[in-house]
Structure 1
Amino acid sequence: MKQFLVVFIFFFLSFDVACQNKHVSYNKADLEEVVKEVENYFSIRFSYNDAIFKSQYFTYKGLLNLDIFLLEIELQNNINSEFIDAKNIVLTTKQQTISNYTLDEVLVVSEYLTSGFNQNEEDGSIVLSPTKMGVLPGLVESDVMQSLQLLPGISSPTESATNLHIRGGTPDQNLILWDGIKMYHQGHLFGMISAFNPYITERVDIYKSGASSKYGNRISGIIDMHSATDIFTKTAAGIGSNLLHSDAFLKLPIIKNELGIFIAARRSLTDVFNSITYRKLGNKIFQNTKIEDNNQQVQEEELRILKDQFYFVDFNAKATWRISEKHQLNFSSLFVRNKLDYANANLEGMTSNDRLNLQNNGFSLQSDNWLTKNFKLTTSINYSDYKSDSSLLETNTEDNGSYNRTNSVQDFGIIVASEVLLNSKNKLIFGADYADYDVAFTIDFVDATIEDEIQNNTLHTTSLYAEHVYNSSKWHIRSGARMSILSKLNTTFFEPRFYADYQINPVLKLKGSGEIKNQSISQLITFEFDELGLDNNTWTLANDSEIPVLNNHQLTGGFLYDKNNWKVDVEGYYKYTKGLTTFTRGFTNATNEDYFSGQSTSYGIDILVKKRIHRFRTWLSYSLSKTLFNFGALQASNFPGNFDQRHVISFSNTYKLKQFQFSLGWHFATGKPYAQPSGTRSFVNVDNQVENALVYDSQNNARLANYHRLDASIIYDFKLGKHKKTKARLGLSFLNVYNQENEIDKSSVLEGDTTQIIEETVIGLRTTPNILFRVSF
C-alpha cells in the first residue's frame, strides 16, 4: 500500500511538472476557466470580480507565458492587470481601479474544490458560485445546500439537503440568508432538496467560523446567498426539467444600463408524474409513518387511498435600478411552499385526512450609495414570513376527532451599514440593525379532555457592530465586536469577533479565529401528536424561564498549503455552547419533566487535500470531531450529542473532457448515536390507569452502523439551432450506486399496551437515479 501511494504521488508530481512547459491551445475558451488554469500553472493568485468574466472568451495558441497572457487578455477582453506583489495580481475592467473596490465587490479568491468553489483569501470563507459550478457526485444539477456537504466540517447525518450540521451545531443554529431575507424553511420534499434556485443564485458566502460582526443571532455557521446585482445588458432565459421538477427563468433589461428585472420559478412534478426518482425519495421520506403503513394495507385490500397529493413550488423576482453611478436600488422577493394532502378510508368507514402546508415568503429592499469613492452606505429593509400548518381530521359513523398545529415566524428588520476605505490596507465597517420577531405556536384539539396549547411571543433586538479590516501582502486581519440589546429580557450581549491569517511564504499560510455568538430564536423538537411524523420542528423565542438565550464560544486555528496545484487546508476548532434545552435536542427520556438545561462541547479537526491536473480534480475531505452533552438533571455523566459522528470522509473526483463532465464520489461516516432502552416500567397515570414506558440506563448509549455510499454524475453540454446560439445540457446522476442499505436513524416503541419492545430503523436512500434536460438562450 505504501509503495502504491509513493508511485501515485510521484506520478501526479511528475505529470504536473511536465505540464508546466507544454504548449496550450485555446479557441474561444471560457475566460474564467483559462484564468484558473493559468493561476495553477504559475502558482499565483488572481483577485477579481466575477462579473468581468461574463460572456468573455479567450483565444491563444503557443507556449504559455504569463506576460503574454496578461497582454492578450488586455487586448482581447479589455481587462487590466496589476501586481500587488510577485504572487498576487488584481484583474479589473478598463473602467475600474483598485482604489474604489470594497470587500464585497472584489474577492481575492483561489479555487477550493472544483469549478464554482472558491476561497476568499481575505477572511477564509468559502465562496460558492452555483451558476458556474461544475458537475458534482450524485447531483444532476447544482443544489446550493447539497453542494456544501462536500466541504469538511459540514454534514447531514440524515441525508437531508437542508439539515446541515456545521462543526457540532444543529441546523436551526445556522444563519441562512437569501438577498438579506432570513430563511426559516429551506427545503422541498421534506428537506431532500434545497428551496433555492441555483440558476439565479449568483454567489454564496459560507462561514464555518471567523464570521464578520455584521452577522448576528445565530451561533453556528453562516450561509449568505446573493442573486445578481448587475444590470442585464441583454435578455436571457432558460428552461429545464428533471425527474422531480421543472423550472424556468427570465432576465430582462428594461432600460439599458439602468433598470433590469428577473423572475424564476420551479414546480414539482410529484403530483402529476410518479417518477422513479420520486418513488425512491418517497420510500426514504415516509418510512415508519402512516403513509407507509397505509400503503401496505392498500396492497392487502384493507384500505382505500382517497387522496395522495404532494407538490412544492418556489418563485423568485428581483428588480435592480441603477439610479446613477453612485446609487443603486435592489428589490428581491421569494415564495417557497410545500403542500401535502393525504386521505384514506378503511373497511369500517373511518376516514382520515392529513394536511400539511409549509411556506416561507419574504422580501428585501436594499439601497447602495457610494457617497465618495472610499465611502459606501447601505440601507436595507427585510421581511420573512414563515408558517407551518398541519392538521388531522378523522371521521366515522359515531365520532369525529381532529387536531390542528401551527407554527409561524414573522421577522422584520432594518439594517444601516457603512464601509470606509481608509487606504489600500485599512478599512472600517460599522452599522446598526433592528429586528422584530413575532413567533406563535398553537395546538388545537377537538377532544375537550386534552388541553390546547397556545404560545405567542414577541421580541425586539437592537444591535450595533463595528470592525477593522487590515489587508497586506502578508497579513489579513479582521477584528470587531457586536453589541445586542434584547427587549423583555432586559439583557445586553457583547460579542467580540476576530480573524487573522499570516502568509509565511508564497505557499504556506497560518490562520486563526475567535468569536462569541448568541441566539434568541431556535427550534424545539415537540412530541409527535400526529402519526404522520413529518413536521415536528417548532421555532420559539428565548424567555426568562424555560428557554434561555443560546451562547457559543469558538476558537479555531490551522494552516493552508498551496503549491503546484496541491492544496492542503487543515483547521482545528473548539466550541462551547450553553443554554441548550432537552426539547431543543429531542432527547428520549421517561421522566415527566418538560425542560432540562444543559451545555455542549464540540472539538475536532477538518482536513482538505486537493490536487488539480488541468481539467481533472480530485480531493479528500475528512472531519474528525466529538460533541458531548452535559445535562446534569437528566444524567450525571456526559454523553454523545444526537448527531455526533466521529469520522466523516468524502473522496471526490471530477473530469472535463470537451463537452462532457464526469464526477465520482465516495462518502463514509461513522454511525450517529441513538438511545437503546434497557427495559420497561409500569406506572399509574393521572386517570388512575396503568401504563407502560421504556427505561433508558443512559442517553445515546448505542450507535448506528457505519455509513457509506458511492455517487456518480455525467453531464453533456451542446448547442442547438442554426447559429448554435442556444445552449443545451443533458445530465444523468446516481445516488448510492451500489445500493448500500444505510441506517440513518433508529428508535424503539412499545407494541400497544404490552411490554414488548419494537425497534424501528430508518434506512437511507437506495440507488436513486435522476435525469436532466435544459436549454438557455
Structure 2
Amino acid sequence: MSSISYAQQNISKQSLKSVLTALENDFQCNFNYHDQQLESHFVDFNKPKSLSEALSILTDKTLFNFTLLDKEIIAVSLKHDLKKVCGRIRNANKNEEHNKYTVITDYQRLTIEGDKNFTFLSKNDSEVIFIYPPDNRAKSVSMDFFENEDCRTIVFDEMVEMLQPVTLISNYLARGISQNLNGSTTIDFNEFDILPGLIEPDVLKSIQELPGILSVNETVSNINIRGGTSDQTLILWDGIKMYQTGHFFGLISAFNPYLTSRATITKNGSSSFYGDGVSGIVELETEKKLNTTYKVNWGFNLLSTDAFLDLPLSPKMSLQLSGRKSINNLIESPTYASYFEKSFQNTEVVGFGKEEKPSQVGFSFFDTNARLLYKPTENDLFNFNFIILGNQLGLTEVGDVNNEQVFRNSNLSQNNISTGLYYRKNWSQKFFTEIQAYGSLYKLKAVNANIPDNQALSQENHVTENGLKIGGNFNFNSDLKLAVGYQFNETGIENFQEINNPLLRQLDKQVLRTNSLYAQLNYTIPKLKTVIYGGVRANHINKFNTVLVEPRISMNKRFLKYFSVQVLGEIKSQTTSQIIDFQNDFLGVENRRWVLSSPNQIPIIQGKQLSTGFTFKRKGWLASADGYIKKITGITSQSQGFQNQFEDARETGSYTIQGLDLLVNRQYKRINTWFSYSYTSNNYRFNNFMPSVFPNNLHIKNAITTGINYTIGNLKVSSGLNWHTGKPTTILLNMENENGALNYDFPNNENIKDFFRLDFSAIYNFRINENLNGLAGFSIWNSLNNQNTLNHYYRIRNGEVEEINEGALSLTPNFTFRVFLN
C-alpha cells in the first residue's frame, strides 16, 4: 500500500533541470552543470525568497552540491558520499523484455526496460525505492535489499497483491528476514541466509531468533510468543489451521523446509482477516508462481531423508510434490540418540515410573505434501494443497505374571491430514475476490499396557475442522485499500478413554460453529509519511450465542529520515485450547489434548494487547525497541501444565504480561551480527487459588540471543548463543510424604537455573556439473554441552519423594547433504 502512495509524492516533484532554469530567470544567474548529470533527477521545490535560500534547499533535497563561484555563476557537482546501486526487474511468469518500468527514488525517476540492468544513486540506507510496471501495480523495495550483491533482481508477480504487507526493513536480523510496515515479520526462504545451529531452513526454529519468541522446553511445537502458551499461537499452512506442527513430538518442524516459500510472524496488530491466535500468528505459505522448468532436489540429514519435485504440467499448470521420512530404522545416529533422549525422558517410553524398562522401542515420522497450481487465464488462479504428517511410536514391555513372562505392546500415534482449495479472480486492476475452503483432521491415539494390573488404557483425541472464507479486495486509489469478507468454521473435538479391565469407557464430543465478518482498511497519508492499517472482526459463536467484536490497529510513521515509530493494538479471541488431565496421559509423551470452549465449563479465551516501538536504520546499523502490555482472560489451570499444588485443580483465570523487546543488528560486507534482548513481567491471576496472583509458568524475565554470520564465497558460517533466566518452579517445604500429598511452598516462588546454549553451523554450496548443484552443511547444537534444565518438579514413588529434572538437548551434531537438479 505505502509503496504506491510514497511514489506518488515523487511523481508530483519537479524536474531538477526545470527548477534550475526557473531560478536562472528569477535571479539572473547561471548554473554550471552537464545535462546528462541532471537527467532523471527531481526535487520537491517551492519558490524561495532569495538565491541563497534556493541553494540551501537544493543542497538539502538533492544529490548535488551547489557552490556559488561569484554573484552569477553556481557550480553543480555530485556529492561525494553517494552509493551507486544496480538492479534488474523481471516478471515471475512471462517474458516482458519490451515493457517499460518506472523506478522512483527519493531523488530520481527512471524509465527502464524489463530484464535489463539499471543503476541509480543512493544517499542513505533508509531510502525506499518504488517500481511501477505498465499496469501501475507499484512495488516497494528498501535500500538494504541491494546490500552484499552487485546487482539484485526484483521479481514481479502477475497476480495483484493489494493488501500484502509492505516491507519496512529488508535483511532484518539476517538476509531473507524483513520487517513490514504493519508490524509483522516475514522470512523469505528463497533468500534465506543461515542461522546458528541450523543447516536447513526449519521454519519454526528460525522464528525463535526473533525477540519475544522462544520455547521454554526447546521444541517447535511449544512456541511461546510474548509469554503465551503454544495453543495460543495460530499456525496456518496456506490458510489452513494446523493442529500438529512438530515431528519427534515437537523437536523439529513438521513442515518440509523446501516446500515452504515464506513465513509471516505477527506478534500484535494482526489483520482482521485472521481469527484465533490470541498470542500471535505464524502463517506459512508455499510458492504461488507457476514454474516453467523442472526442479528436483533430494537430500538427507542424520534424522531423515526427503525429496522435492516441481513439475510443470503445462504452461498453465504446475505440480509440487515432497516427502520426508525418518531414517532411524536404517541407522541410529548420534543426532537421533540425542533427540530420543530429550523427547522421551521421564516418560513411560523409557520405563519412567515402572520397575522395568521396555525391551523394544520403535519410532518413526514422515510427512507428504502436494500442491497443484492452475492458472487458466491471466486473471484466474486455482491452488490445491494437501499435507499429511505422522509420528509413530511403539514399545514392548516385559513383566512377570504368576511367575510367567508376559509381553504387552503399547503404542502412540499422532497424525494430521489437511487439504484446501483456493480460488482467486482479478476482476480489474482495482478489485479481486478470493475463496478458500479447507478441511483438517488431527488424531492423537495411545494404548498404554499395564502388566501388573492386567490393564490397557486406550486414549484418543480427535479434531475435525472445516472452514470457508470468502473475501473481496478493493483498491480505491493509491492511498486507500479495503478488504471485506466472511468466514465460517465448524470445529469438532472428540476425547475418548477406555480401560479394559474392568471395562470403563468415557466419550466427550463437542462441536462449535463460528460465523465471522471482517473489514480491513489500509490508508496512507503521504505528506505525513504515515501508514495506518485498521480493521474490525465480528465473531458469532453459536453455543455461547454471543457476538465478539474485535478491533485491530497498526500505525507506522517515518521521521528524521532514519527513524520510524509504530503503534499496534488488537483484541482477539479463540475457542480451542490444549489441556493436560494427567501428566502420564498418552504415555507421558504428548500429554496435551485439544478441547473446545463450552458454556459453564471452558470459557472463550480473549486477549487484549497494546504496543509501541521505534526503528532506526542507517549505514548497516539497525536498532529497534518495542514495549507492550498484554492480558489474556479465560484460560484454564489445566491448560497451563501445573506440576505443583494446582496440578489437579480445575479453575479459570487470566495472565498479564508487560515486556520490552530490543534488537541491534550490524551488517557490514560479509559479516552480519545481531543482539536481541527481551524483558518480561508475566503473572497469573486465579481468584480461587491461594495466593491468587503469582508468576506465570512461562515467566522468563530476561532473555538474550546473539549471533554472527560470515560469508566468504560459497561458504556460510554462523555461530550464536541463547541465554535466559530459568522458568519458575515450586519447591517443597520439606521432602516428606504427608499421606500421599506433598507440602509445597508458595507457587512458582523459585526459578530453575539459567539456560545457556552456544550453537554453530556451516553451509557450503558447490557446482557438480552444468545441471547439478550441491549443498553440504554441518552443525553443532549446544556446542559446549551445557547441562541445561528445562523443567523441575516432584513426585511420590513407592512412598518416597523424588525430585525430577528434565534436561535440554545435550551436544548434538548434525550433517546434511543435498543435490539440486535445475
Contact 2:691 2:746 in 1 (8 A): no
Alignment partner of 1:663 is 2:718: yes
Q: Distance in 2 between matches of 1:556 and 1:46?
A: 37
Match for residue 386 of structure 1 among 442, 447, 454: 442
Which one-letter code corresponds to 1:550 in the other structure? I
Alignment partner of 1:312 is 2:371: no
Alignment partner of 1:751 is 2:791: no
Equivalent residue, structure 2, for 1:454:
507
Q: Distance in 2 between matches of 1:710 and 1:50?
A: 41
Matches within 5 A, 1:145-184: 145-184=204-243
Matches within 5 A, 1:570-719: 570-590=625-645, 594-679=649-734, 691-719=739-767
Deviations 1:215-247 (A, max 9, x none): 102211100111011110111110000000001
Match for residue 518 of structure 2 among 465, 469, 476: 465
Deviations 1:175-210 (A, max 9, x none): 100011111110001111000111111111110111
Which one-letter code corresponds to 1:730 in the other structure? A
Equivalent residue, structure 2, for 1:231:
290
Which one-letter code corresponds to 1:421 in the other structure? N
Alpha carbons of 1:485 and 1:43: their partners in 2 closer, same or farther (altered >3 Å)?
A: farther
Alpha carbons of 1:264 and 1:254: their partners in 2 closer, same or farther (altered >3 Å)?
A: same
Q: Distance in 2 between matches of 1:54 and 1:581?
A: 54
Alpha carbons of 1:505 and 1:55: their partners in 2 closer, same or farther (altered >3 Å)?
A: farther
Alpha carbons of 1:640 and 1:81: their partners in 2 closer, same or farther (altered >3 Å)?
A: same
Deviation (angstroms), 1:751: 2.8
Deviation (angstroms), 1:171: 0.4
Greater mean deviation of Cα atoms: 239-248 or 322-331: 322-331
Q: Distance in 2 between matches of 1:69 and 1:424?
A: 20
Deviation (angstroms), 1:321: 0.7
Deviations 1:380-404 (A, max 9, x none): 10111111001123457xx731011
Equivalent residue, structure 1, for 2:265:
206
Greater mean deviation of Cα atoms: 411-420 or 636-645: 636-645
Q: Distance in 2 between matches of 1:481 and 1:105?
A: 18
Match for residue 368 of structure 1 among 410, 424, 428: 424
Q: Distance in 2 between matches of 1:731 and 1:296?
A: 41
Which one-letter code corresponds to 2:379 in the other structure? K
Alignment partner of 1:103 is 2:163: yes
Greater mean deviation of Cα atoms: 126-135 or 170-179: 126-135
Equivalent residue, structure 2, for 1:416:
470
Which one-letter code corresponds to 2:786 in the other structure? Q
Deviation (angstroms), 1:45: 12
Alpha carbons of 1:69 and 1:148: their partners in 2 closer, same or farther (altered >3 Å)?
A: farther
Deviation (angstroms), 1:134: 1.2
Q: Distance in 2 between matches of 1:710 and 1:47?
A: 38
Deviation (angstroms), 1:328: 0.8
Match for residue 431 of structure 1 among 479, 485, 510: 485
Deviation (angstroms), 1:346: 3.8
Secondary structure at the residue paired with 1:643? Answer: coil
Matches within 5 A, 1:9-20: none
Which one-letter code corresponds to 2:472 in the other structure? S
Q: Distance in 1 between matches of 2:660 and 2:106?
A: 40
Deviation (angstroms), 1:119: 1.5
Alignment partner of 1:761 is 2:761: no
Contact 1:47 1:109 in 2 (8 A): no
Secondary structure at the residue paired with 1:229? Answer: coil
Deviation (angstroms), 1:424: 0.7
Which one-letter code corresponds to 1:110 in the other structure? S
TM-score under structure 1 normalisation? 0.86
Secondary structure at the residue paired with 2:405? Answer: coil
RMSD between superposed Cα atoms in Å = 3.0
Matches within 5 A, 1:539-550: 539-550=594-605
Matches within 5 A, 1:335-354: 335-346=388-399, 348-354=404-410
Match for residue 615 of structure 2 among 538, 555, 560: 560
Match for residue 336 of structure 2 among 270, 278, 284: 278
Alignment partner of 1:404 is 2:458: yes
Q: Distance in 1 between matches of 2:523 and 2:210?
A: 27
Deviation (angstroms), 1:67: 12
Deviations 1:549-602 (A, max 9, x none): 011110000101011111111000000111111101122354796411111000
Q: Distance in 2 between matches of 1:202 and 1:313?
A: 20
Q: Distance in 2 between matches of 1:254 and 1:531?
A: 44
Alpha carbons of 1:528 and 1:97: their partners in 2 closer, same or farther (altered >3 Å)?
A: closer
Secondary structure at the residue paired with 2:170? Answer: strand
Q: Distance in 1 between matches of 2:632 and 2:84?
A: 40
Deviation (angstroms), 1:682: 7.5
Deviations 1:480-517 (A, max 9, x none): 11000001111110101111011112200110111111
Deviation (angstroms), 1:352: 3.3
Deviations 1:23-63 (A, max 9, x none): xxxxxxxxxxxxxxxxxx9799999999759999xxxxxxx
Q: Distance in 2 between matches of 1:518 and 1:303?
A: 44
Equivalent residue, structure 1, for 2:198:
139
Matches within 5 A, 1:221-300: 221-256=280-315, 258-293=316-351
Match for residue 321 of structure 1 among 341, 363, 374: 374
Contact 1:675 1:701 in 2 (8 A): yes
Alpha carbons of 1:215 and 1:591: their partners in 2 closer, same or farther (altered >3 Å)?
A: closer
Q: Distance in 1 between matches of 2:82 and 2:311?
A: 40
Secondary structure at the residue paired with 1:111? Answer: coil
Structure 2, unmatched stretches of 5+, are: 1-80, 97-104, 140-159
Alpha carbons of 1:517 and 1:352: their partners in 2 closer, same or farther (altered >3 Å)?
A: same
Contact 1:81 1:89 in 2 (8 A): no
Deviations 1:693-721 (A, max 9, x none): 11223211221000101100011100112
Which one-letter code corresponds to 1:203 in the other structure? R
Equivalent residue, structure 2, for 1:8:
none
Contact 2:577 2:594 in 1 (8 A): yes
Q: Distance in 2 between matches of 1:378 and 1:48?
A: 31
Q: Distance in 2 between matches of 1:772 and 1:116?
A: 21
Q: Distance in 2 between matches of 1:235 and 1:455?
A: 49
Deviations 1:504-533 (A, max 9, x none): 122001101111111111111121345831
Deviations 1:426-471 (A, max 9, x none): 101111100001100111111338x543210000000001121013
Contact 1:352 1:392 in 2 (8 A): no
Q: Distance in 1 between matches of 2:548 and 2:818?
A: 49
Alpha carbons of 1:187 and 1:47: their partners in 2 closer, same or farther (altered >3 Å)?
A: farther
Which one-letter code corresponds to 1:254 in the other structure? L
Which one-letter code corresponds to 2:810 in the other structure? R
Which one-letter code corresponds to 1:149 in the other structure? Q
Secondary structure at the residue paired with 2:634? Answer: strand
Q: Distance in 2 between matches of 1:475 and 1:634?
A: 47
Q: Distance in 2 between matches of 1:674 and 1:205?
A: 33
TM-score under structure 2 normalisation? 0.81
Q: Distance in 1 between matches of 2:647 and 2:750?
A: 23
Deviation (angstroms), 1:673: 0.6
Deviations 1:354-390 (A, max 9, x none): 2111011101101111111100100110111111001
Based on CA coordinates, which of the two structures has the bigger radius of gyration? 2
Q: Distance in 2 between matches of 1:185 and 1:45?
A: 45
Contact 2:473 2:484 in 1 (8 A): yes
Q: Percent identity, please.
A: 31
Secondary structure at the residue paired with 2:350? Answer: helix
